[in-house]
């Protein structure tokens, strides 16, 4: 009855940690390559990775949203 209001089967932003890639591979979507020494997002519990470009964009989007919610930035909408 008093559970989470979201699914625990799909990773959310805060499930990911920024790490340095240790080997070449593909992102979890299978279309973006990951190269050794890239800064990527990794969700250990879900065993999913986000490529460097997508991870940088996602981090920036969340920083902007946090700033807007905290009242530090003007809302662009």
Question: Domain for residue 66, yes or no?
Answer: yes
pLDDT tens digit string along 52-62?
Answer: 999 999 999 99
CB 39 within 8 A of CB 57: no
Question: Domain for residue 5, yes or no?
Answer: no
Task: Specify the number of domains making up the chain.
Answer: 1
Q: Give which of 21, 59, 57, 27 is closest to 39, Cα–Cα.
A: 21
Question: Domain for residue 76, yes or no?
Answer: no
Residue that the structure tokens 């699914």 belong to: 7
Q: Provide the domain limits for residue 58.
A: 13-70
pLDDT tens digit string along 33-49?
Answer: 999 999 999 999 999 99
Question: Domain for residue 32, yes or no?
Answer: yes
Does the pTM of the predicted model rise above 0.85? no
């Amino acid at each position: 009855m008093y559970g989470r209001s979201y699914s625990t089967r799909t990773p959310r932003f805060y499930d990911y940690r920024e790490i340095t890639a240790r080997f070449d591979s593909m992102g979890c979507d299978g279309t973006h390559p990951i190269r050794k020494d890239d800064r990527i997002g990794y969700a250990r519990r879900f065993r999913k990775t986000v490529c460097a470009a997508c991870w940088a964009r996602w981090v920036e989007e969340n920083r902007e949203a946090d700033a807007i919610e905290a009242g530090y930035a003007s809302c662009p909408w």
